A and B are shown apart, each in its own frame.
Chain A
Amino acid sequence: MKPIDKIARAISQFEVQAPPRLDERVREHVREAFANSIPAPAAHVRTRRWRLLVSSRIAQLAAAVIMVTLLLGLHLWNLLGAEVYAVEQTVEALRKIETAHAFCTDWQGRKSEIWIQPNPATGANDFICVTETERDYAVISTPHVSYYYYPGRNVVRIVRGQLITSDLDLARTIESLTQEGNRQGGSVEIGRKVTDRHGEVITIHCAGTASEFEAWIDPRTKLLLGIECVRSSNPGQFIKSWDEIRYDEPVPERLLHFQCPDDAEIQPEGWGNVDDPNCGIDVTGLSDEQACREIISRLFDAINAANLGQMRQLVPITNQWNDEQLVAAVRESVKKLWDDQMPGVPAYEIGVPSQDKACPLGVLVPCTLTDHNGRQFKVTLIVRFRQTDGRRTCVIVSTWGKTTPLSR
């Protein structure tokens, strides 16, 4: 007998005997199912019926192409039949996931683990936990409270509100990536290739001016297998690749309902107090641009006058430092700009605020600073608008990205 025939025979003879517990379980639940059988189809069954109506393969592909074209803004010439159908299913599947457990690598090659639990109604991340053993920390973030936990030092920093710990809105991943590609005037291509890690995959390649991503989809399950950021100049893009993603694993209880260890040192808030009602200025009646000009000019004036109280009022993050630390932080920032020759910000221009999806903390305001020697630098600040006791207020969250010298 040929070896191949022997394998075929072995498969055909592969037998498993049902254990009695399965019989009992099936009997009980089949009888229940008959007793409770639903007279009218549920919503998801109606959806499936719609799919059955679109029963021919050509019609399915046409429907998928229309859906993907509308949803992802792709051009028809980018689309291949079977792959498009898979992408459409991926978009749908990702909206139904309950949890994701991802293994990631950052730009320095450090490994981290991320747990995400999306909100089924909004698709936003309800719970995110990032753990990085190499740097000994975990960040646990929920819409109401977040924690930085350093197990080695047994320190916990509690923060009000949600932290930016993931730049991926998992339930809308495909749309986000392709929109990024489309927005930056780049290209989005769907294809197929064989990878070492995952074997044959469907690929979505999004290349824009600021970033380039490739997402891999399992052609069998239609789920997202991973994402690689090939290049990025987006500040805050700390993950280079999502190497493996597992779906619908239960989030460990100790993370989902994190409690500070009894003997842990609890540190004051950091980022989270961007919503502190005692900070910020009232900008009721001002446009976004006017409000940004107002708060940023006040900040530079405060730096020039070494007015620490005003800085704390405008930039909540500075409240976590004592006076000495705050002065050192300002000196350090200014030193980076002016080689420590002259303190302060002698001249500045405040640009027009803009939204950037990569920065959900607030609007980005580019500023041009000029030193005493005429050298210019570009700094981008994050300004966050809030509603405080019925008033419109804003604060400065932090800088965004690197300070870059401008050629003269």
Chain B
Amino acid sequence: MPSERALVRKFKRGDPEALLAIYQRYRDYLLSVAMALVCDTGRTEDAVHDVFVSLGQKRREFRFRGNLKACLSVSVVNRTRDILRRQSVRAAAPLDPDAQVVSESSGPEQIAMLNEQCRRLATALGQLPEAQREVLVLRHKCGLPLREIAKVQQTGISTVHARYRYGLNTLRALMNGELDDETDR
């Protein structure tokens, strides 16, 4: 399997297959990031689609630094934010019942249970203010440190800390102990 750097080099030289290989590698992960932010299958797909098409259009301007996965995550978050801004998708948008939500866990019973858990989590995330939701997803789904999240959100580290804390507490209250019960089983 070619390395990330090799794929990026080929992509910047004008090979669309290299970009498509990057897409294949990260598409599920990026869709999950977008889904956690917008809770809507169509807009989630639009966000990921637009990021890759935009990369194809502006490959000469693309600067690859550090972790490609994190870089793509931030692009998806920014694109999702644009979509929310343009379409005024407000919090608590209903989760599309056709969304194919699956879990990494094994075993059909566990999958069924965690599917439901994912749905509940997505619905609860949808009720958070966008900024708090973004911090939680960037922190726990993308693994970005809070300092990096502050850069993405163009705000101070203390604001990000506050958003993180409020977000977690609100999410905990919204989930009303559901996560505690199920994950402990």
Contact = CB atoms under 8 A, between A and B. Distances in A.
A44 to B, nearest CB: 12
B53 A30 contact: yes
Interface in A28-79: 29-34, 36-38, 45, 57
Given A199-B129, A221-B85, A37 B122 contact: no
Interface string A80-93: 00100000000001
Interface stretch (A4-12, A145-153, A369-377, A387-395): A4-12
Nearest to A221: B85
A223 interface: yes
Nearest to B181: A6
A18 interface: yes
A31 B125 CA distance: 35
A8 B125 CA distance: 12
B157 interface: no
Given A26-B23, A38-B57, A247-B86, A14 B32 contact: yes
B104 interface: yes
B28 A18 contact: yes
A247 B88 contact: yes
B32 A15 contact: yes
Interface string B28-69: 100110011000000011001100111111111000000000
B140 A17 contact: no
B145 interface: no
Contact of A18 (B31, B136, B179): B31
Contacts, number: 157
Contact of A22 (B49, B137, B155): B49
Contacts of A14: 32, 35-36, 118, 121-122, 141
A246 interface: yes
A270 interface: no
A220 B125 CA distance: 16
Given A15-B101, A249-B88, A7 B114 contact: no
Interface string A345-360: 0000000000000000
A23 B48 CA distance: 10
A7 B85 contact: no
A64 B31 CA distance: 35
Nearest to B84: A221
Given A7-B175, A10-B183, A22-B45, A31 B16 contact: yes
B32 A248 contact: no
A3 interface: yes
A7 B56 contact: no
Contact of B168 (A4, A9, A220, A221): A4
A15 B103 contact: yes
B172 A3 contact: yes
B125 to A, nearest CB: 8
B28 A30 contact: no
| Chain B at the A interface: SS class | helix
Interface string B68-88: 000000000000010011111
B100 A223 contact: no
Contacts of B24: 23
Interface residues of B, number: 64
Contacts of B27: 18, 22-23, 26
Interface in B145-167: 154-155
A220 B131 contact: yes
B14 A7 contact: no
Contact of A13 (B44, B45, B104, B184): B104
Contacts of B88: 223, 246-249
A18 B31 CA distance: 7
A21 to B, nearest CB: 8
Contacts of B179: 3, 6-7, 10
Contacts of B31: 16-18, 22
Nearest to A93: B85
Contact of A15 (B28, B130, B143, B184): B28
A1 B53 contact: no
Given A199-B129, A248-B86, A26 B49 contact: yes
Interface in A150-193: none
B112 interface: no
A12 B73 CA distance: 13
A235 interface: no
B172 A4 contact: yes
A396 to B, nearest CB: 42
Contacts of A30: 16, 19-20, 23, 52-53, 55-56
Interface in B112-139: 114, 117-118, 121-122, 125, 129-131, 136-137, 139
Given A11-B36, A16-B31, A37-B56, 4 more contacts: A7-B175, A22-B48, A220-B131, A247-B88
Interface of B: 14, 16, 19-20, 23-24, 27-28, 31-32, 35-36, 44-45, 48-49, 52-60, 81, 84-88, 99-105, 114, 117-118, 121-122, 125, 129-131, 136-137, 139-141, 143, 154-155, 168, 171-172, 175, 177, 179-180, 183-184
